[in-house]
Amino acid sequence: MNGQYASLLIALPLISAFFVPLIKGLGNKAVKYYLILITAIQAGIAGWVFSEVYRTGEPIIVMAGGWRPPVGINLYIGHFAALFVLIVAIVSFFMAIFSLKAVETEPIDKYAMLFLLLMLGATGMIATGDIFNLFVFMEITSITAYALTAYNKTGEAAEASLKYMILGGIGSSFFLIGIALIYGATGTLNMAHLAILAGGIDAKVAEAGLALLIFGLAVEAELFPLNAWAPDAYQAAPHPITAMFSAFVVKAGIYAAARLLYIMQGASGWSSVLKLVVTMAALTVFVAEFAALRQKDVKRMIAYSSISQIGMIAFALALGTQAGVEAGVFHMVNHAIVKALLFLAVGYVGIALGGTRIENFAGLGKRMPLTALAVTVGSLSAIGLPMFNIFWSKLRILLAGVDAGYTWGVALILGASVVEAVYYLRLIHTIWFTGEGERIRENLAIGTIAVFLVLLIIFIGIYPNYFWTVSQKAGEDIFNVVQYVKNVPLMGVGP
């Protein structure tokens, strides 16, 4: 089949979001099932793209409008994008099913549109090969995220959304200034073309431009000084949306930052920007873990934990070595699985028992054994115990960190992991060894998703090889810029 059909990954969520106003008269149930149907089709397309890319080993280049880059915009669906577009689609599908139970607030038609567009934005950010197009998709992602954060219409939600909106607005303005600087210096917006021209940019412009781009993306990617919005937004957003934020919205931002970093490899001042990111990432891990320790609300605690794991990914991606990037991508995959599971289970507890405060978790092992099991496996995996998936990726990150000479960063992460173990074990203790309660019937669909994710975590924990090879290929896609440039069919423009 023609590779250009991969553009359906963008076209399908868009056209289906525009279609929602026409079917909203059919009632809430219909809109929710429609959402499930569309995300299932999207997962099917993403699965086809994934198998195509990994079978041939060649990236799919979608050229919008038939114009060759850099004149037109191209999507670059290489090993990384194929993998993550699949993850985005599958997580969205799961969360669409979860939404059946989790979202009762009106108006459901608007929720469905925003849900689809959040998925679209993340897909676009991961797939695009053009920096201005990246900005557009980033705006789609973040503006949907603002609206969805405030969707529950409580005072807290409004406050969280406002914080997010102000920070995000400032971040994207900086991002736009960065694009303007780089465009002014090179005359092109295409990433592959930029990679070729990066060496010739004036040192000051390159440094400022790159720093502004990274700064802008750091808001989306929740790096330390700019992540104040995240815990509030995670807590206030509807449960399925929180899982989506943690599983792929942040990852899209962090991937975009990594992609831009490596594209600009040739520019002078590159290594100092790299050092800045490593420092920010290490601080993110440290601060977020200690903040998580103090939380009384489980959803908020996991939100902080998610931020710290993201810091770890950023740390690995900014090491500047191939081993680091591969480890970072592996951690991205594992973290997406674990956090999707945790937010699903915790959200379900919140719905069933009315709130996610730690008291509600007492006796959960007796009341909702399946959900309790899901939370436990997710927690143990997040700590990084052997036999669970995150063990392998954390190990790889630490080894890569030592290899790259950032022993202080590794020490900081290891120290923070001890803190992480403390609060997760406290949660597990509360679930299994305190409290009493009646059995509550658990929802079959949510239970099935949870069991599937639990099995996946244990499977990767025991046989990490298949997923490790996939992540290695995806990591090489980011790191090996020469190959990236070779894959994009640039046309010669200019003198």
Partner 1 sequence: MLKRSLAIITILIIGYWLAQSLAGVPFGEDKMLVGQYYLDHVKDQTGAVNAVTAIVVNYRGFDTLGEVTVLFIASTGVGALLWRKRKKRTAKTEGSVVLTTGSELLFPFVVLFGSYIFIHGHLTPGGGFPGGATIATAFLLLYMAFVSYEIPHKAFEKTEGLAGMGYVLVGLTGLAIGGYFLFDWIWQTWQWGTGNIGRLFSGGFIPIIYTLIGIKVGTELSGIIDNMLKEEVRE
Give Rg (Cα) of the chain.
Answer: 21
Cα separation, 258 vs 280, in Å, equals 14
Binding piece for partner 1, criterion CB under 8 A, among 41-49, 187-195, 252-260, 420-428: 187-195
Q: Token pair 């995220």 is at which residue? A: 145
Helix (H, G, I), strand (E, B) or coil at 77: strand
Question: With contact defined as beta carbons under 8 Å apart, do 358 and 431 qualify?
Answer: no
Choose which of 35, 122, 150, 400 interacts with partner 1 (CB under 8 A): 150
- Least distance (Å) from partner 1 to the CB of residue 104? 13
Binding piece for partner 1, criterion CB under 8 A, among 60-68, 81-89, 374-382, 456-464: 60-68
Query: Based on CB atoms, which residue is closest to partner 1, 208 or 282?
Result: 208
Cα separation, 388 vs 394, in Å, equals 11
Choose which of 86, 120, 316, 478 interacts with partner 1 (CB under 8 A): 120
Query: Based on CB atoms, which residue is closest to partner 1, 188 or 393?
Result: 188
Report which of 166, 347, 312 is spatially closest to residue 242, judged by C-alpha positions. 347
Classify burial at 147, counting beta carbons within 10 Å of its beta carbon; exposed 0-12, middle 13-18, buried 19 or more: middle
Query: Based on CB atoms, which residue is closest to partner 1, 183 or 290?
Result: 183
Choose which of 31, 38, 49, 62 interacts with partner 1 (CB under 8 A): 62
Choose which of 204, 275, 429, 486 interacts with partner 1 (CB under 8 A): 204
Report which of 136, 297, 153 is spatially closest to residue 237, judged by C-alpha positions. 153
Residue 101 is a binding residue for partner 1 (CB under 8 A): no
Choose which of 57, 65, 354, 386 interacts with partner 1 (CB under 8 A): 65
Residue 156 is a binding residue for partner 1 (CB under 8 A): no
Residue 444 is a binding residue for partner 1 (CB under 8 A): no
Residue 494 is a binding residue for partner 1 (CB under 8 A): yes
Count CA atoms closer than 13 A to 75's CA, side-chain side: 26
Show contacts with partner 1 in window 10-49 (CB under 8 A).
Answer: 10-11, 14-15, 17-22
Cα separation, 230 vs 250, in Å, equals 10
Cα separation, 325 vs 477, in Å, equals 10
Residue 132 is a binding residue for partner 1 (CB under 8 A): yes
Residue 155 is a binding residue for partner 1 (CB under 8 A): no
Each residue 349-388 as x (binds partner 1 by CB under 8 A) or -, in order, gives ----------------------------------------
- Least distance (Å) from partner 1 to the CB of residue 277? 18
Residue 489 is a binding residue for partner 1 (CB under 8 A): no
3-state secondary structure 36-48: HHHHHHHHHHHHH
Query: Based on CB atoms, which residue is closest to partner 1, 136 or 293?
Result: 136
Helix (H) or strand (E) holding 63: strand 60-63
Report which of 149, 174, 178 is spatially closest to residue 164, judged by C-alpha positions. 149
Give Cα separations from 22 to 19, 31, 93, 105, 464 (angstroms): 6, 10, 22, 20, 46
Cα separation, 314 vs 474, in Å, equals 16
Choose which of 71, 283, 358, 458 interacts with partner 1 (CB under 8 A): 71
Helix (H, G, I), strand (E, B) or coil at 128: strand
- Least distance (Å) from partner 1 to the CB of residue 494? 4
- Least distance (Å) from partner 1 to the CB of residue 63? 6
Query: Based on CB atoms, which residue is closest to partner 1, 11 or 402?
Result: 11
Choose which of 27, 44, 187, 405 interacts with partner 1 (CB under 8 A): 187
Binding piece for partner 1, criterion CB under 8 A, among 177-185, 243-251, 357-365, 379-387: 177-185
Cα separation, 161 vs 236, in Å, equals 8
Question: With contact defined as beta carbons under 8 Å apart, do 141 and 128 qualify?
Answer: no
Amino acid code (one letter) for 217: L
Binding piece for partner 1, criterion CB under 8 A, among 137-145, 230-238, 421-429, 464-472: 137-145
SS3 content of the chain, % helix, strand, coil (to 5): 80, 5, 15
Binding piece for partner 1, criterion CB under 8 A, among 113-121, 220-228, 248-256, 422-430: 113-121
Query: Based on CB atoms, which residue is closest to partner 1, 395 or 490?
Result: 490
Give Cα separations from 10 to 76, 84, 191, 213, 238 (angstroms): 13, 14, 19, 24, 24
Token digits of residue 308: 């710290």
Query: Based on CB atoms, which residue is closest to partner 1, 44 or 437?
Result: 44
Choose which of 106, 156, 359, 403 interacts with partner 1 (CB under 8 A): 106
Residue 233 is a binding residue for partner 1 (CB under 8 A): no
Question: With contact defined as beta carbons under 8 Å apart, do 442 and 368 qualify?
Answer: yes
Residue 263 is a binding residue for partner 1 (CB under 8 A): no
Which residues of this protein are in contact with partner 1, per CB under 8 A? 2, 4-5, 7, 10-11, 14-15, 17-22, 62-67, 70-73, 106-107, 110-111, 113-114, 117, 120, 124, 132-133, 136-137, 139-140, 143-144, 146-147, 150-151, 153, 177, 181, 184-190, 193, 202-205, 207-209, 493-495
